[in-house]
Amino acid sequence: MMDKITDKSIEKLNELVYKNTKSLFRDKIDVIYFDATTLYFESFTEDEFKKNGYSKDNKFNQPQVVLALMVTKEGLPVGYKTFSGDTFDGHTLIPALNDVKQYYDLDKVVYVADAGMFNKTNLDELEKLKDDGITYIVGARIKNMTKQLKDKITNFDNYRPINEDLSIAVFDFQGNRLLVTYSKERAKKDRYEREKNIEKFVNRLKKEKSLKGFLNNNGYKKYIEIENRKNCNTKITIDEEKIKEDEIWDGLKGIITNNTDIDEQEVINQYANLWQVEEPFRITKHDLKIRPIYHWKERRIKAHIAISFMAYTLIRHLEHRVRLQYKKLSLQQIRKTLLSVQASILHDKKTNKRYVLPSNVPLDAEKIYKLMDVSLKTSVYRIM
């Protein structure tokens, strides 16, 4: 069966998924969330498709492929695209967007993506699409801005409060809006994580004998200073200046948008909803067990991902229908409920007849079967 799934089949799958997702809404899809992740293999052999690259599963010595996914603001899938394992996250957005333009009927749509997609090439390409009604909301790497802009961002006189926790400042970035928010809670979290990293560093410093161990750990190396690196008496210390520099950015988050039709609060809300595209990766990786991948031929790998995407689409659509027509149930609750629908087969040895004895069916299961228009027998019946 897997060998029947070709690139043409996958193209058709994406079209069908988009059309079915679109059919669930009266209005057109107006917001698409985009993200990419990596899927590793139980193999150490590379080829043109599965390659070593930056692994989000910390499997840096194993080949992988990159999966880019697009979902609606409700978390329903719109489409996906695969890339070779050495593809940088930031280089996946435009090819995926070109597919959307080619195959999907979209009017006005806002693309929302995290800071991993923030690069000049992507922003330039997205700007070209503004006249076609396609705009963007993208996470900004505010620490990489010009010194003049960074000075403005870190000057809290430029901020005004939105609520008890959040303050906002708006700056110009190449003719577009750069929204920077400061959150007290986020500042506490940033400070806690930094202090935890430093504490780990101090504890490890007492045990670690290899300098390489420190250099390979991103959590440590930005806060350490190494003296006489080539000398056997290498000294590793905490760089207090780097810590102070980092503290300035605690609680700050930047968002860039070229959409002039939505207000600042809506920009913040839409960006905050980015978890809708991050959650599918958790579901596909853990619940659907999309990885590790045990296939090695490219067509089989693509077929494996396509089947996983189909499964994910079905469970998301089921979850959505249950929420709309009955009540909100998580995927785990739906699965547990459906698994509880069981039956015993009774064999009458005298007559050689067999009967099905259904178990007691929970109300949630009855409702799910009904809204999916699937018959469910609750009394004893004969099968042969």
Encode pLDDT of 324-362 as tens digits: 999 999 999 999 999 999 999 999 999 999 999 999 999
- At 106, the pLDDT band (50, 70, 90 cuts) reads confident
Given pLDDT bands bounded at 50, 70 and 90, which one contains residue 169?
Answer: very high
pLDDT of residue 279: 83
Q: Among residues 373, 350, 375, 351, which one has the least CA distance to residue 361?
A: 375
Residue range 214-224, pLDDT digits in tens: 555 555 667 77
Token pair for 35? 């993200």
Q: Which of 93-102, 169-178, 373-382 has the lowest mean pLDDT?
A: 93-102
Count CB neighbours of 371 within 10 A: 14
The residue extents of the domains of the chain are 2-114+274-325, 186-247, 341-382
Distance CA 92, CA 80 (A): 11
Decide: residue 33, CB within 10 A, 0-12 exposed, 13-18 middle, 19+ buried. buried
CB distance 319 to 344 below 8 Å: no
Q: What is the pTM of this model?
A: 0.83
Q: Does the structure show a pLDDT above 90 at 183?
A: yes
Give, for 257, the enclosing helix (H) or strand (E). strand 252-257
pLDDT band at 213 (very low <50, low <70, confident <90, very high): low
The confidence score (pLDDT) of residue 230 equals: 58
Which one has a higher pLDDT value, 225 or 254? 254
**3-class DSSP assignment, residue 65:** strand
The yes-or-no verdict on residue 316 having pLDDT over 60 is yes
* Weakest-pLDDT range from 16-20, 60-64, 65-69: 60-64
Lowest mean pLDDT among 120-124, 207-211, 256-260, 358-362: 207-211
